[in-house]
Structure 1
């Protein structure tokens, strides 16, 4: 987080102190801030990708079973747009089916296409969803078009952690007033941070946030590994994972839905994007 970006959080700092939260607690909260790239179809930021478009994959890469959402040109992201150890170039392709019938299951994947890799166009409409009218109509409503990036600060929208072995929760460690701070961020973020339908890095958010939304991705990954294996170790600790991307589809009939893609830190560093897991939050 650059000093300039931290300065953009001054209105949050001032309001928190005015609300009676000690300055040192607010400063500790600001220390958790992360940069993120907000991608939208408007604005004057650099073009960094597309919603939809041709699905271009290397010949030896299987066609994902989930619908194609977006591609992100990593070389085009502004310097310091995130604090993730992303590759400096190449493309990230995001796939997801934003419906899980209320079950906590993996609903997406990510493919990394290295810069210079030979690719071929694939059929975007060959997945399981293409044979069901309701599913096909949902996917046909996915947004399409150029995406532009804005670098913006991200603070936690969640305020609690699960107490191990209990159904109870506790404030975020080191932040006894985390609930007040998270609620204040929800009230002020619209005046401070740039928002858009797709976010790379930063913190996950959704309606009625309590626990970190990434925790649901972690739970899903652990369940998947226990039921059928996953080709490697899977940590159940949320701190071992990072949010790769958040997507708000903004599809009629699915208002408020959010897809979270998360990956273990060590997998991201090793560029094992095939070990990304995605879940969807939707409160119909």
Structure 2
């Protein structure tokens, strides 16, 4: 999707923002932040690009991921320009996560990249680390979706509007966007008329039930803490600059008992370009 095509899609957003009295130059600057993304859903007319659930096919010899299997995505089937992420042109992405935040700052998921032509073997989807330990986890996993996924190329604007600073007032509007709170509110009101609906999104901006700051920033903060403690990152440097991080995927599970939960897979753009999917950090927002 070209920049002009993305801006054209944002017509309803522009019209409503201007009607609210937000200065035109501020509206245009906000629209300059637009990113392409792929909405993955069961319905629609787009190509089939993967599925929730299904057989778990891991590269031979790969340790079983700690978290449960969510979805597989065929990168070669994604429409051209669906995201601005430096994704491989082919192969499969396997997403893993548990949709609950235990409050310890640990990553709640992972990503495995399976290059095209890799020898794979089917694994037990119920073989993740704590499946047998608690009926509650089994009940949650039993509700994971099981359906094919079709891709629709969409556009994405920020849902968040603040950044945190070390001194008072602690939270301020996004730099360069004095009307960020109003603009984010207009996006939330109009995005349903602009983009399609689906449980899984690749690229774009992160969304969740209660959002003021960027969820990718929270993932970065947790990753820095975990890397400093030697529990994540493989001993390699982790950037503290949010500009170096991107949203790989968002998932809204719609699971009984975990209503409102959202899973975010975030990664440093350099790691993504280097296909270091093992350095993806996963956070969950859930406001019970």
TM-score normalised per structure 1: 0.97
The whole-number CA distance in structure 1 between the counterparts of 2:241 and 2:169 is 17
Check 1:167–1:61 CA distance in 2 against 1; reply closer, same or farther (3 A cut): farther
Structure 2 equivalent of residue 265 of structure 1: 269
Q: Choose 109-118 or 124-133, whichever is displaced more.
A: 124-133
Deviation at 1:102, TM superposition (A): 3.2
Structure 1 equivalent of residue 278 of structure 2: 274
Give unmatched runs, 5+ long, in structure 1.
Answer: none
Q: Choose 273-282 or 54-63, whichever is displaced more.
A: 54-63
Deviation at 1:204, TM superposition (A): 0.1
Structure 1 equivalent of residue 98 of structure 2: 97
Check 1:96–1:166 CA distance in 2 against 1; reply closer, same or farther (3 A cut): farther
**3-state DSSP class of the match of 1:245?**
strand
Structure 2 equivalent of residue 160 of structure 1: 162
Q: 1:242 aligns with which of 241, 246, 257?
A: 246
Mapped contact 2:100–2:258 kept (Cα < 8 A): no
Structure 1 equivalent of residue 230 of structure 2: 228
Structure 2 equivalent of residue 197 of structure 1: 199
Q: Choose 206-215 or 124-133, whichever is displaced more.
A: 124-133
The whole-number CA distance in structure 1 between the counterparts of 2:19 and 2:202 is 32
Structure 1 equivalent of residue 107 of structure 2: 106
The whole-number CA distance in structure 1 between the counterparts of 2:116 and 2:258 is 35
Mapped contact 1:58–1:120 kept (Cα < 8 A): yes
**3-state DSSP class of the match of 1:56?**
strand
Q: Choose 244-253 or 162-171, whichever is displaced more.
A: 162-171
Give unmatched runs, 5+ long, in structure 2.
Answer: none
Structure 1 equivalent of residue 77 of structure 2: 76
TM-score normalised per structure 2: 0.96
Deviation at 1:22, TM superposition (A): 1.1
Deviation at 1:150, TM superposition (A): 0.4
